[in-house]
Amino acid sequence: MSFEPFVVCNNLVKIYKVADLEVVALQGLDLEVARGEVMALVGASGSGKSTLLNVIGGLDTPSAGDIAVADYDLLSLSNRQRVQYKREVVGFVWQQPGRNLLPYLSARENVEVPMTLTKIKTAQRRKRALELLDLMGLADRAGFRPDQLSGGEQQRVALAVALANNPPLLLADELTGQLDSRAAAQVFDALRQINQAYNTTVIVVTHDPQVAVRVDRLVGIRDGRTSTEIRRARNHEDGSVQEEEWVILDRSGRLQLPQVYVDALAMRGRVKVRLEMDHVSVWPDETAAVGPGEGLQSLRQWRPDQAFDLSDMVAGQPSVEGHPLAVNTRRIWRTFQVGAEEIQAVRDVSLAIPSGVLAVVKGRSGSGKTTLLNLVGGLDEPTRGTVVVDGQNLARMSAEDKIELRRRKIGFVFQTFGLIPFLSARENVETPLRLPLTPPRERRARTDEALSLVGLTDRAEHRTYELSGGEQQRVAIARALVGRPSLILADEPTGQLDTVTGSNIIALLREIVRQTGITVVVASHDPKVEEAADHVYELRDGQLVSSTLAA
């Protein structure tokens, strides 16, 4: 395929401002995409992938830089031209089927909706809709409403909707994120058919390894910049695939070394660079040598500056007789009924998580991680099977008993922080202590203790919008700690943070386990979290497929 630039991004910057806090989502990003190319954008949550997709799709405008798609300069478009661009040039598919389809219309009627905004006649609209559904393998489902379709079928209808006006560019944000492996494969097959039939340029944001290995080019984004690139060449005679990995060098001469290289050589602070005859060599500064095991730590990483003795916490407490495990699930299933489809989010999962460890539940989006955490935390009930937490069988507990268990024994940390915006950091942390009517003096002492552990004593009186993302997540962790639980459940705690800030949160969770003996269970697909874990459990399509111990 000859490289004809279709999408060109030059030094893109996007800054979001919330009160006095600035969040830099894109930091001088460069990218070119060829016409007819199928490519994927990958990177940790919060790296800037979805922001870039919104900018390319005309849903957002950059703070600085240039971007052109086809013959459109997106920075100079009037409102009318921008609407025309979104209607004629770009099609969108989102992760949530409910965002793609109108629930009260049939599949065919959903596909016809975008064409009603053009001058296409009714008969032509119907013909086009049926052609697209046939291409998606859904000709026999044209008269069905979304609630009568499976998740994979809904996403294939969504692809047909996105293609209704025959746009040359298709943008898909985690389109397989809520699907099982089989349905995800069917959706990507449909995506390939679209590309071959219409020469549509496809840009996919994904965490799904199945999607990532099937594209022509894989571009990694880290901290708002393109960092690495994998190009694949397919031999159509024998079906073999050759690939090469590259590091992106931007127009200013900047590049990001792959994190695994930095970790392996313990590079930190500064490195030596030398121009050789035909290459540039980079190696660590020997004067900044680090001790054994410290190579994985970032120079800018936060660490507690003292040891903490949190009174009445788990450290030193005996385990419940006969129940040495913090979490024990026995063949649990969780089935959801969505319209005509039965979705098995968790399937026959048995876990045995010891006390005082950092355990990670990993898996692609839609694998069942969050559902499993909800079951362990008593926020949901299994369809069948048993969940035992801190020696207590949740199935034998009343709703009031479960509330008391969560209040006394379990702390929760969420990806979106979940802080109350009009309260200070201190007030957010002490909120859980107000429910059981903890005396004011004890409440303040425990709040100070938790804020000290997460390194935020000097930020205690700041409102949440005055804190950085990493500081907000540390407030959320302090709030989870203040009740002195025996178990903390964290759902993608680094998901909205940049690489360094995410590493700081991982280090903090690791330190909490070491100093307090609290068990921390993290649901994540961040490799850095997995590296810090004592136990790693992998879910795939709701099933536990592997369980490993740290070396």
pLDDT by residue for the chain (551 residues), tens only, comes to: 456 789 999 999 998 876 566 778 888 899 999 999 999 998 876 778 888 999 999 998 999 999 999 889 999 989 999 998 998 899 999 877 677 889 899 999 999 999 988 888 889 999 999 999 998 888 998 999 888 887 788 888 999 999 999 999 999 988 877 676 777 788 888 888 888 888 999 999 887 766 777 888 899 888 888 888 888 776 667 667 777 888 888 777 888 887 777 777 778 778 888 888 888 888 887 665 444 444 433 333 334 444 444 444 443 333 434 436 889 999 999 998 766 677 888 999 999 999 989 999 988 777 888 899 999 999 999 999 999 998 889 999 998 999 888 888 898 988 777 888 888 999 999 998 888 788 889 999 989 988 988 888 888 898 887 787 778 888 998 998 888 888 999 988 877 676 667 777 888 888 888 888 889 999 987 777 888 889 999 998 889 998 888 65
CB contact at 8 A, 219 and 39:
yes
Neighbours of 166 (CB within 10 A): 12
Report the candidate in 343, 339, 344 with the shortest Cα–Cα distance to residue 144: 339
Structure tokens at 415: 């990806």
- Between strands 72-73 and 225-234, the pairing is unpaired
Domain assignments of the chain as residue spans, ordered by start: 5-96+168-247, 261-288, 325-549
Report residue 306 CA to chain centroid gap.
32
Report the candidate in 106, 156, 104, 162 with the shortest Cα–Cα distance to residue 133: 156
Distance CA 532, CA 503 (A): 10
Edge-to-edge strand list for the sheet holding 325-338: 341-354, 325-338, 384-389, 392-393
Distance CA 167, CA 58 (A): 14
CB contact at 8 A, 175 and 201:
no
Q: Helix, strand, or coil here: 153?
A: helix
CATH architecture of 5-96+168-247: 3-Layer(aba) Sandwich (3.40)
Q: Give domain 325-549's CATH number out of 3.40.50.300, 3.90.1150.10, 1.10.260.40, 1.20.120.450.
A: 3.40.50.300
| HEC-encoded secondary structure of 340-365 | CEEEEEEEEEEEEEECCCEEEEECCC
pTM of the model: 0.65
pLDDT at 290: 46
Report the candidate in 396, 389, 393, 407 with the shortest Cα–Cα distance to residue 482: 407
CB contact at 8 A, 388 and 397:
no
| HEC-encoded secondary structure of 19-57 | CCEEEEEEEEEEEEEECCCEEEEECCCCCCHHHHHHHHC
Angle, helix 122-135 to helix 151-162, in steps of 10 degrees:
130
Give Cα separations from 518 to 124, 138, 241, 488, 512 (angstroms): 64, 51, 47, 7, 7
Q: Helix, strand, or coil here: 83?
A: helix
